[in-house]
Structure 1
Amino acid sequence: MKPTSLFTWILLGLCLAVPYAGADVFDQNKRLGRGVNILGYDPIWRDRARARFQERHFQLIRDAGFHSVRINLHPFRHMDRDRDWALRPEWWATLHWAVSNATARGLTVILDLHEFNAIGDDPDGHKDRFLSFWRQISAQSWPDTVYFELLNEPCKKLTPAMWNQWLREGLAIVRNRHPQRPVIIGPAFWNSVDHLEELDLPPEDRALILTVHYYKPMAFTHQGAAWTGQQDKVGIDWRGTEEEVNAIRQDFDKVADWARRRNLPVFLGEFGAYDRAPMDARVRYIRTVAREAEARGWSWAYWQFDGDFIVWDMQRDAWVQPILDALIPPAR
């Protein structure tokens, strides 16, 4: 029988979102499985009537074979300075709409604080908002299938040493109400695999998931991207040669070794190749990164559903099938 109402979907989601009786953080990480980043730059946060992402997309994501969604949150512009940075009701309404619809369809959810640029440019000026955000999120009751990610890609003036202090303060707020909820944390320098040794996680916390992002080589993955100064550099191939694949394997083995020594599961929170790269090369690269992550038992989330690096074409109202097939191979 096919559910026909949101209420039915919510009941189904509550059944799927049962507490993790006896589950450890490695089991919880497995629930993330294959995921996709959503809603980060959607007008939905300014005006629900202008949203690109619609309720039906949650089911499309689930039916395609994804297990989780990473919701990219930019809450700072929706916080009131005069009310101790309280988040506005309309922002909460949109967030609860997204979480309810995702969990109702059996998708595990990551609430990802994506204010990395604002914080990186002025850490001191934004720390109060960072801490207030996690106080407010932590004060809510969430299904067990909702995970927290303290901050996407700590960078720039938020140095590794400063980030190590911030993450402890944020984690203390979360753990006051959510002692067992998975919290996702990665290194400074944009969650780079090359800066893991500077990340200092509290070893006593056994509900942490390590995250890294992977876009190497940037000359390929960000070709044509104006924000990286590569708008005029296009046509760069990625053939999947032994040398190219070994570079990925060496980076991933380094991450796996770091995590193994600390008994942490790994979540590859972002990877992809910009839309102006040759499609065949994008497919080869994305397929290789996804399979190498899976070979090490990692969960992952592709960047991103729509906007750029897309796996869903809003104009065509259809999957970008070669990218989807690279991420989730069709059943044979």
Structure 2
Amino acid sequence: MKNNFKRNSIILVTLFFLTASSILSAQDKWGKGFAFEQNKRLGRGVNIIGYDPIWKDASKARMKDKHFKLIKEAGFNNVRLVMSPFKFSMNDSTYEINPSFFITLDYAIKESLKNKLMVIVDFHEHGAMEKNPLGNKAKLLSMWKQIANHCKGYSNDVLFEICNEPNMKPEIWNEIHKEAYQILRESNPKRTIVIGTINGNQIKHLKDLSLPEKDRNIIVAIHYYSPIQFTHQGAPWSKKNKDLSGIEWTQSKSEEEAVNLDFDIAQDWSKLYNRPLTLGEFGAYEKADMASRIRWTNYIARQAESRKWSWSYWQFDSDFILYDMDKDDWKTEILNALIPLKK
């Protein structure tokens, strides 16, 4: 009798530890290590279709099937899919999204996945959210619920970014992204979520970001356009910089140190909180001289990579272009700055 009791006790204890080990293993898979693994796989990327007529009329699309293939062949690993769902609201109270939106979204996701490109689904409504963050909160939450439910069947190669450049007070943003996060987790419990900092996803606001401590399947997004007088010179939408011209980036020691100082602040935060970083946007506008753009773009990409960040260049076409749709060819200088030719 005693031997049977002892044997049963050993079996129960063994089963307990095996079960506990299995749970811990599953938690680790979707825990802190998984987000870093996802970020590593994201690697090098580019923002796509934000301002493409494809959203309104597929027959006028600039982005074609072949472009997804070209992006992959050029050496990119991800695309940041820029979407503006607010334009597709069919109801002012329920915020139901027009089905045409999902046709375009599915097309872009499926073409990306077909070409082995990971996808960051980016909710790019920063303008409206900046004007009235609390007034537009219900709209953002309702639309994310619809999008998350629609996309729940996609693989983990698809990531959700709650909001591009949330330009608002930190306490308001922390409230909004917390509620959005909870909605996303209801239908997508294992999906990697991207959450960015306020005011243009600036590095200096990493300290203001409050994240769910127990959920380690999160990547934090930052953007970089510094020095802004260089990267946005001549940009018509930039009030302070639209009339500037002739500003060079020579890659002097002081210019490099300025970038390194910013990036080291971000890296220190990443290490302290054990959160991976993605550089979701960076680029220099066309009005800057090409030699300076090449130097700056290459330096930013290499510095990000040296810190094991993923990145997504702004953007494939429209402005800051990587690909010239009119000539149907790469802007080779920018492409080579992003992905240097192998020697």
Fold match, TM over 0.5?
yes
**Equivalent position of 2:292 in the other structure:** 281
2-structure distance, mates of 1:321, 1:287: 13
| C-alpha deviation, 1:84, in angstroms | 1.4
1-structure distance, mates of 2:133, 2:277: 27
User: How much is the aligned-residue C-alpha RMSD, in angstroms?
Assistant: 1.3
Task: Name the stretch that deviates more: 160-169 or 74-83.
Answer: 74-83
**Per-residue CA shift, 1:243-269, capped at 9, x if unaligned?**
000111110010011111111111000
**Equivalent position of 2:79 in the other structure:** 69
- Matched to 1:297, the amino acid is K
1-structure distance, mates of 2:138, 2:205: 26
Do the aligned partners of residues 82 and 192 (structure 1) sit closer, same or farther apart at CA in structure 2, a change above 3 Å counting?
A: closer
Number of residue equivalences: 311
- Matched to 2:138, the amino acid is D
2-structure distance, mates of 1:310, 1:263: 34
Secondary structure (helix, strand or coil) at the match of 2:135 reads helix
Alignment equivalent of 1:45, drawn from 47, 55, 64: 55
Secondary structure (helix, strand or coil) at the match of 1:282 reads helix
**Per-residue CA shift, 1:116-174, capped at 9, x if unaligned?**
0011101233111100111112212222100000000000xx31110001111000011
| C-alpha deviation, 1:52, in angstroms | 1.1
Alignment equivalent of 2:319, drawn from 280, 289, 308: 308
- Matched to 1:25, the amino acid is A
1-structure distance, mates of 2:260, 2:29: 35
| C-alpha deviation, 1:231, in angstroms | 2.4
Alignment equivalent of 2:154, drawn from 123, 142, 151: 142
Contact 1:148 1:184 in 2 (8 A): yes
**Equivalent position of 1:100 in the other structure:** 110
Alignment equivalent of 2:281, drawn from 240, 251, 270: 270
| C-alpha deviation, 1:82, in angstroms | 5.4
- Matched to 1:132, the amino acid is S
Do the aligned partners of residues 160 and 21 (structure 1) sit closer, same or farther apart at CA in structure 2, a change above 3 Å counting?
A: closer
**Equivalent position of 2:189 in the other structure:** 179
| C-alpha deviation, 1:204, in angstroms | 1.1
**Equivalent position of 1:160 in the other structure:** 170
**Equivalent position of 1:27 in the other structure:** 37
- Matched to 2:181, the amino acid is L
Superposition misfits of 4+ residues, deviation over 6 angstroms: 20-23
**Same amino acid, percent of matched pairs:** 44
1-structure distance, mates of 2:132, 2:312: 28
Unaligned runs of 5+ in 2: 1-27
